[in-house]
Structure 1
Amino acid sequence: MPQIINTNIASIMARRNLDTSQAAQDQALQRLSSGLRINSARDDAAGLAISSRLDAQIRGTSVAIRNANDGISLAQTAEGALGSISSNLQRIRDLALQSANGSNTSIDREALNAEVKQLVTEIQNVAEKTNFNGKKLLDGTFAGSIFQTGANLGDTIGVSITKATTDSLGSAIEAGISSNRIAAAALTAGDLVINGVAVGASSGVDDSFSTGSQAQSAIAKAAAVNKVSEQTGVVAKVDGTSVAGNTYATSTDNQGKGISINGVSISVSTDAALSTEANLLNVAAAINEKSGQTGVVASFDGNATTGITLTASDGRNIVLADGTVNTSAIGLGAAGTFIGTYSLISQDGKDITLDTTTGAIDNAGFEVGSYSGVNSGVAGDNVTNAALATGDLVINGVAVGPTQASFDTSSIVDSSFSAIAKAAAINLVSGQTGVTAKANTTFVISGAITAGTAQSGGVEINGVSINVSYGATSSVSDIQNLVVNAINNASGQTGVRAEAFGANQFRLVAEDGRNIRVGAVTNITNAGFTATTTTYSSVSLFAGDKVELSTNTGQIGRAGFQIGTFGGGQDGQLLKNLDITTVAGANKAIQSVDNALEQISKQQADLGAIQNRFQSAISNLTINSENLSAANSRIKDADFAAETAELSRAQVLQQAGISILAQANARPQQVLSLLQ
């Protein structure tokens, strides 16, 4: 082995090993002093990334636990206030029972009523002023509040607290009326009188969906009702429009035949070689392809006898027109304008009284009468195609004004006839009548779809052309699917969607109550369409009190209703209106307080359930936090037993390394002995 002095290999090797042991000692000291296995990314890059995510989860879980505890505190605050209201209600009930006793004089009842008024005022005060962290809880504004009860986005609990003011407690189920198939006529002022307030004329301006006869639509009529809702206390809500279908009647091929729905040309095809069901499916599919244009959807439930139903969910008029094929021959309803329905809803819990000053309440789709929470819905019948005239429908003594095409902007024809327009006319006077109107869904059930003939054509639904094609080998089910899909593809334009109806029909549905107009049907005679028909929806009336319907014109049928009083006052009155100065008033107050106590109890139960849910969330979060912390510890924390052993090893190696390095550095000195 050569003896050299310029390069001390032993020293280099000793120094390298000393550096290694020193690094190991430094790392052990760092881990022992910090308690962490990972002090920087170089220690464990992947572990650090995982640990960071776990840290975020753990910290987020801790915040979520605090949030859930806040939710419990909020619910407890609201529950306590409701308990105070309940105590006051119990006292009011005691006073009402005392006032109902025959031994009391009028002076006694006045004194009892004075205390009732003070208690009612205190209930209102509690409802208005109860808050948590500045947020009002019982005034009706605390709705849909979201609590973040998890570490991740979307881990939330929604909390809503119902209004507990004296203008919301006391009444039972709010009265509501659903119109019948309303007449294809616009409302005129007075056709519908709601709670003694005449609803003005329906206007097509209020219906932006129907492509025709807008003033006759459920949309326009509901708008007319809502324009007087402050006087009537009733608002109108538009239901959908539906056009019933017919038995599929064609046995020949109709390729590319056209119909029209809401002014849209729709090409439908039937195939004699296909089954009736398949042809109806194809017709519905073709219609649904244009549903985006027509607003009308076709549906077939597999019943070839009832054909295809057309529906406009927004209540627009459905204008169904024949083209090169009759709509009724391909499973659709007969050509015409179909008007949707709408509903009237009470805003103050009172019964809805409908009447008419024109005798044409049919134009509004209602019947004269009174409606309450017990009799919550009455649907008018779509029997005549006429706009409401003033006085045709009188609701609660208020004449509903005429329908106008401007009330229904969805229906393409006969907008003033539609359920939308008539609901609008009713709602124009809802402030006077206390009744609101809603256009119901318009339905058009198609005729029967037949198979066996190859057809390719179209149908126009609400002015939108919808094309359908099917071969001779297509089954009725195939055609049904094709028609439904075609109509639904155009529903954004027509406002009408389609759905299978029976084995060999489909149904057009306009959920907004617009008229469903099926226009020309071209070369798809087997698809269940009936050309050139307009189907009108019905109107629903809603109110919290009885509804009296009458007419000033004898044309109440235009609104789809009959003269009469629907519902009663047995459901109780609002707390703010309590008056126990008479025996009758005391009895009514007892019912009102019972209703209010039931409402309060329900809300307290809901709050109790919310508290339990928050507590359950806290328990789950606590367990999650524990498990996440354990997982993070296994990744991030130092093992002191292992690290102290490593430190001892490194210290011994350091001592030995220093000694060996000293000896290695001394080795070149030995070479000098050769020079002596």
Structure 2
Amino acid sequence: MALTIASNVLALSASLQAGKAGNAVGDTIRRLSSGLRINSARDDAAGLAIASRMRVQVSGLNQARRNAGDGQSMLETASGALDSLSARLQRIRDLSVQGLNGTLSLTDTDAVQAEINANLKEIDRLTQQSTFNGLRLLDGSAGMVNLQVGANDSDKLSVNLGGSGFGVNALGLKDFTIAGLPGTVSGLSVLQGRSTNVMIDSPTTTVHWPAGSTSPNLVRDVSGTIYVQDVDGAGKPTYQQVGYRPTTDTVTGLSDVALSPSGPPVFQSPAAVASRAIGVPSLLDNTNAPIAGASLVQADDGRYFILKAGNYYQASLGFGTSGTVTAKAADMTSPLTAADFSTLPATVTQTPPVDPAADTVAFQDASGVSLSASASRLLQRNNGTYVIEVDTGGGNFRYYDAALTMSDDGTTRTMTARAVSTTYQSFTDLPSVSGDSTVTIDPAKVSVNYTDRNGVTYGNVLGLDASGNYVFNLPQSAKTGTLVTAQDGSQYIRTVNGSEDVLIFYPLTFTALTDASTNTTVLNVVEAGEGIRLKQPLDPLATLDRALAAVDAQRSLLGAAQNRLDSITNAQQTTATNLDTARSRIEDADYAAEVSKMTAAQIVSQAATAMLAQANQQSQSVLSLLGRN
């Protein structure tokens, strides 16, 4: 081997081996000091990943096992509450068997019913107050409870705590009463009453005017009859009698007024007066003295004459729509004779037709004083009688019953409408009407006065119970009440009598009056007869059996779930143990093997160090060679 000093290959080789031995010693020291075979990913990358995954699984399984324990506690709590509930139901059944015995008096059955009601209250209390960590277990609000019983998403156990629950209502035991008359009732919160002050012009009122109305207004006469006032094409008022049906809804505060015509317009333009037969006319001279032995005739030119002893006395014809026809001579001194006519006048047998709408009419009051023609108008009622309409100004009108008379001398015809009395008909605005109301019992809008069987009246008794439903509170008599309707439609006051909660039903009378302008209602409720009990249901024992069966079914369900949780817990324990064992084999250090490795590595390290020293000394031999020269 060449002897060199520039490169000490042996020393380099010894140094390399000493480093490796030192690293081996360091690895074993780290493993022995940490107890782990894998202290970093460089020790065993694959093993580290596998061990980490196993550690996660073990940790998840341990937590899932604790979850299962929590689930067990929850189910045991629910089962315990159901046990108590079942005991209450069984006690109610025993009491029902006792109370159904016909040998008991009403007082006895009320005492039995009082204990039944106490147990029913306890059932509701258990249902509402049986909770686990804030979760209601028996009222159905919990729904489907998912228990995480494994380390993976799908590892769930579902327990159904939903449904309608196990309260009195859910078990079909609402108003459970063992003695009384058969029948069922339902709650009553909407009543039909009367309404006042339904304002026609209010924005909360919808008025349905008759078809064709242009400027309608609601008015009434002195008798209280209601009309729709409108205007015709000439701007004159028209009146149509109407039927009406106002309704008010207390929920919305809105009113509706439906107006329906009950006949044609009250007044209309007068119809033409047809000719009518003249029986025996009354013939008068110019002094109104009767003329005997005469007759009434009419010439071709239309003039009327009274014919007596060959003399023709010109006359005017006076007549009305009925009654006697009168002919009055204008002059008894200058009669005409037959020679004065080309054709002899003929006997008059009918009055001439008259059209009041086309002819001029003079108007008079009951005293015969003329009325202004521009402020007066002749109208006719539906029954054919005549009316004088007088405009008194300011949009006000008076209507006088009138008699119509005509005067006709053959060339000039005049009509006179005269009031038959000073009494007149007038119309006044009707700003509001009264009608029906639909009353929804609501403390915000309705006040209730309650009169019991003893005649004692309690004021302002309406309130709300814990569930937000209305209730009549009568603290003085220690009872509460609501309204119900029986199957036959009859209405009752359902009272809860005293602390014993015995249900007594009283026949009901009531009045409900709504002020539509303020949407406030006063409801007066009266106990109108002896109180009765209603047996509900008709099959109390069978109903209780069904309730017990429902409770037992839920207890079975919870028991099965508890058994499953036991199995799950055991399986999780086994799985976690096995996974932890496998993880330990991969990750934990084997002290026996590691100590052996450390000892060997230390020996090699010491030997390498010694050899490194020897290799470094080998170059000194060159100095010996140089010294000899």
TM class, shorter-chain normalised? Answer: 0.3 to 0.5
- Ranked by relative contact order (alpha carbons within 8 Å, sequence separation 6 or more), the top structure is 1
TM-score by length of 2: 0.42
The answer to which structure has the higher helix fraction is: 1
Q: Which has the larger radius of gyration?
A: 2
TM-score by length of 1: 0.39
